[in-house]
Structure 1
Amino acid sequence: MLRPTRLFSDAQKTAVEDAIFDAEQRTGAEIVVAVAARSGGYRRFADVFALALAVVVLFAVMWMFGEGSDSLGLPARTTLHPGLIVGTLVATFFLAVVLADLSPAIIRAVAGRRTLRRHVERSAPAHFQRLRLRRTEDHVGLLIYISLLEHEVVIVPDDGILAALNEGDLDPIRETILDGMKQGRLPEALTSAIEQAGRVLGERLPAPKRNMDELGNELYLID
């Protein structure tokens, strides 16, 4: 499982935090960025994958050591010892569970895009509260939440930003990050996306004369 703390080097983390600082010089908004390893538990999907693979392997082994065939074309009997059959099933199941845990692509394929998106959409507002974005004086917090396992991005604006933006203004920012994830260039794409956010927010919600930094500029990496 890819950990955010290993994905970003010290220099890349600093570049993102500098981009947040620079973006906030142009706008009254407070930008917070969080990168999480995952947003949900997917054990049952790993189990489904493991069980399916174990059954396939078991049938393949029985076919190799089978004799005769029934009306369905399946082996009528096998020369394998029953203990070996059970051992093959159990061993394959547990190896497949480990494989699913090590390969997010398997979880994404089995769980499906809708399920993955739902988990991230539930997790993002929780982090919005946890990271105290509600405490800004004019409700101008903006959370950019990235979840690595799911390959998803959710942007959560507070009420003050929602009132200033048009529908779809933040979509290009999300797409920039998603493209970077697909290309294996998330740190660089995130820096570019924050610069985009600064330009968009600067037009819709320009920096006031007294532009306080209410939330800091830390990049939150959540393993």
Structure 2
Amino acid sequence: MSKVNQFKPDDHKIVTSAVSQAEKSTDGEIVTIVTSESDHYGDVAWAISGLVALTALLVVSLFPDIYLNIIDWLAGGWSGMTALPYWTLFAFSAMKFFGIRLILIWKPLLFILIPPPIKKARVRKRAVSLFRVTTDHRTVGRTGILLYLSMHEHRAEIVADEAIVAKVEPSIWGDAMIGLIDLVRAGTPGKGMAEAVRQMGIVLTEHFPKTDQNPNELPDRLIEL
């Protein structure tokens, strides 16, 4: 995954400070991770290329006269073709397939074409995977929680450990997500993550107030992948 250049050193300080402040009043442990994208989507690019190639082949099969006239015009009226040979259909489809795949190397276009449900599923899968590595079962009270932001997909996820899941409904994190997304859209992703952390801290303090038996076990710093 490529680095996220939207996050400057000051953004890291803002988020880290927000995590430290939020954890002063709760046994909850907040981990923050930001990445440019959650997947390379190579399989999606190949699938789109195949769909375009098959669609083009279908159009040629349904309207062969259009293409025969084009070939005849290119040949100066001397092509003599009355039907498209199979090799031209294969060549046409291959050109469409690999041509589209080359175009989709340009990520901004690819991300426009990826269906939102696929983006949502890939971001969630990546968030859960990172949660298992960085947060899951790594605190004494099972009170770890991950805030994950994927910039190119314009999506964020909150994944919590079992003790938090048992007490807090997923919908409760709505204010945190709204605060995050609004500020990211405004061009201040660091402040967005800090605001989400603040909102998460309020919820965690209500359900898991600070005790003396729960040390700081997870890093407060923003992790950038």
Bucket of the pairwise TM-score, normalised by the shorter protein: 0.7 to 0.9
Of 71-80 and 125-134, deviating more is 71-80
Moved more, 141-150 or 172-181: 172-181
3-state DSSP class of the match of 1:146? strand
Q: Secondary structure at the match of 1:149?
A: coil
Would you say 1:74 and 2:66 are equivalent positions?
A: yes
Q: Deviations over 1:93-133 (max 9, x none)?
A: 667545533333x3333221111111122221211111143
By how many angstroms is 1:16 displaced? 0.7
Structure 2 residue aligned with 1:103? 107
Give, in whole Å, the separation in 1 of the partners of 2:210 and 2:119.
36
| 1:182-211 CA distance string (max 9 Å, x none) | 333322211111111111211222111345
TM-superposed CA distance for 1:31, in Å, is 0.2
Instruction: Provide the TM-score with structure 1 as the length reference.
Output: 0.76
The one of 178, 183, 186 aligned to 1:183? 186
Question: What amino acid maps onto 1:102 in structure 2?
Answer: W
- Give the CA deviation at 1:3: 2.8
Change in Cα spacing, 1:19 to 1:44, as seen in structure 2 (3 Å) is same
In the alignment, structure 1 segments of 5+ residues that lack a partner are 58-69
Q: Which amino acid aligns with 1:120?
A: V
CA–CA separation in structure 2 for the residues paired with 1:22 and 1:108: 36
1:162 aligned to 2:169?
no
* Letter in structure 2 aligned against 1:101: I
For 1:35 and 1:98, locate their aligned partners in 2 and report how far apart those are by CA, in whole Å. Answer: 28
User: Of the two, which has the highest radius of gyration?
Assistant: 2
Using a 3 Å threshold, how does the CA distance of structure 1 residues 75 and 22 change in structure 2: closer, same or farther? same
TM-score w.r.t. the length of structure 2 is 0.75
Give the match's secondary structure for 1:24: helix
| RMSD of aligned alpha carbons | 3.4
CA drift at 1:49: 4.7
1:69-111 alpha-carbon deviations (Å, 9 max, x no partner): x97772433344799xx79x84x8667545533333x333322
Paired letter, 2:66:
L
CA distance in 2, matches of 1:42, 1:48: 10
Whole-Å separation in 2 of the counterparts to 1:116 and 1:181: 18
- Structure 1 counterpart of 2:206, from 193, 203, 208: 203
Tell me what 1:123 maps to.
126
For the residue of structure 1 that corresponds to 2:20, the secondary structure is helix
| Count of residues in Structure 1 that have an aligned counterpart in Structure 2 | 208
State how 1:78-89 maps to structure 2 within 5 Å. 78=71, 79-80=73-74
Q: Which amino acid aligns with 1:12?
A: D
**Structure 1: which amino acid aligns with 2:105?**
D
The alpha-carbon distance between structure 1 residues 56 and 148, as it changes in their structure 2 partners (threshold 3 A), is same
1:154-178: per-residue Cα shift (whole Å, max 9, x none)? 1111111122324521122122222
Q: How many Å separate the matches in 1 of 2:101 and 2:14?
A: 37
